């Protein structure tokens, strides 16, 4: 008990733990009190078990300090289709509601053609729960998502929302539960789970429509 108390006192009065080792049945602890100053304290250990106990105690304190420093780091910023400036501008954009209950706001209206039903489209998306937490994103995967629009390959709200977009456009889709995931969605670790028939939000950008550009050129 006295040895452990001494080690705790050492950590609070001398500085930060640097190294520790066993020498002649004594635990030698070197502690840095500054960048250039180092002090040592020798603690008696009567047995191997005492040494191991002290070693684990000190190493645990050292690791704990590293974890505390890591916890103070800001969270990694995830790539988005709508940044802070975009979010503010979006507040003044009128919302459009369709007969199905789908709602959307155009972040940017595209200049290219709209995709015909059954055509492949290449899109980027950031999928969120209503709180704004991201549960899926093509931006994080680093590649566009290609699917046949209007063919039931994606959820109904995404199908409908992209059919009226133009190439180059960006849109925020507010997708109600019936047009989202009726059976719910189990996301990757650390991502929010999508409950069955719960509303979701998709920020989408229509990058291009493979094959449509060739038809236009002809």
Instruction: Note the pLDDT of residue 189.
Output: 87
Three-state secondary structure of 137-180: EHHHHCCCEEEECCCCCCCHHHHHHHHCCCCCCEEEEEECHHHC
Instruction: Note the pLDDT of residue 51.
Output: 44
List all residues 6 or more positions away from 215 whose beta carbon is below 8 Å from its beta carbon: none
Instruction: Note the pLDDT of residue 78.
Output: 85
Give the dihedral sign, CA 175/178/180/184. positive
In eight-state DSSP terms, residue 181 is -
> What is the rounded CA–CA span in Å between residue 168 and residue 206?
6
How many other C-beta atoms are found inside a 10 Å radius of the C-beta of residue 145? 17
> What is the rounded CA–CA span in Å between residue 208 and residue 165?
11
Instruction: Note the pLDDT of residue 46.
Output: 52
- Among left, alpha and beta (phi > 0; psi -120 to 50; other), residue 41 is beta
Nearest to 160 by CA among 196, 212, 115: 115
Backbone phi, then psi, for 209, in 5-degree steps?
-120, 100
Per-residue pLDDT tens digits of the chain, which is 218 residues long: 444 434 433 343 344 444 444 455 554 444 444 444 444 444 454 554 454 444 444 444 433 443 334 444 445 578 999 999 999 999 999 999 999 999 999 999 999 899 999 999 999 999 999 999 999 999 999 999 999 999 999 999 999 999 999 999 999 999 999 999 999 998 888 899 999 999 999 999 999 998 776 555 44
Instruction: Note the pLDDT of residue 213.
Output: 62
Instruction: Note the pLDDT of residue 151.
Output: 95
Instruction: Note the pLDDT of residue 56.
Output: 42
């Amino acid at each position: 008990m006295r040895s452990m108390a001494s080690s705790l006192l050492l950590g609070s009065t001398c500085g930060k733990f640097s190294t520790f080792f066993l020498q002649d049945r004594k635990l030698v602890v070197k502690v840095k009190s500054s960048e250039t100053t180092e002090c040592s304290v020798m603690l008696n250990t009567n047995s191997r078990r005492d040494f191991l106990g002290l070693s684990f105690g000190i190493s645990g304190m050292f690791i704990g300090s590293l974890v505390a420093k890591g916890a103070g780091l800001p969270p990694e910023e995830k790539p988005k289709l709508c940044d802070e400036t975009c979010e503010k501008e979006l507040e003044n954009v009128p919302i459009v509601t369709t007969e199905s209950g789908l709602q959307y706001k155009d972040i940017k209206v595209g200049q290219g053609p709209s995709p015909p039903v059954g055509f492949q489209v290449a899109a980027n998306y950031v999928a969120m729960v209503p709180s704004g937490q991201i549960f899926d994103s093509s931006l994080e995967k680093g590649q566009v998502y290609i699917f046949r629009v209007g063919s039931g390959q994606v959820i109904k709200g995404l199908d409908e929302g992209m059919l009226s977009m133009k190439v180059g456009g960006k849109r925020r889709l507010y997708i109600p539960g019936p047009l989202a995931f009726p059976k719910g969605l189990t996301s990757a670790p650390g991502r929010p789970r999508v409950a069955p028939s719960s509303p979701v939000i998709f920020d989408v950008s229509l990058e291009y429509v493979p094959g449509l550009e060739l038809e236009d050129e002809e």
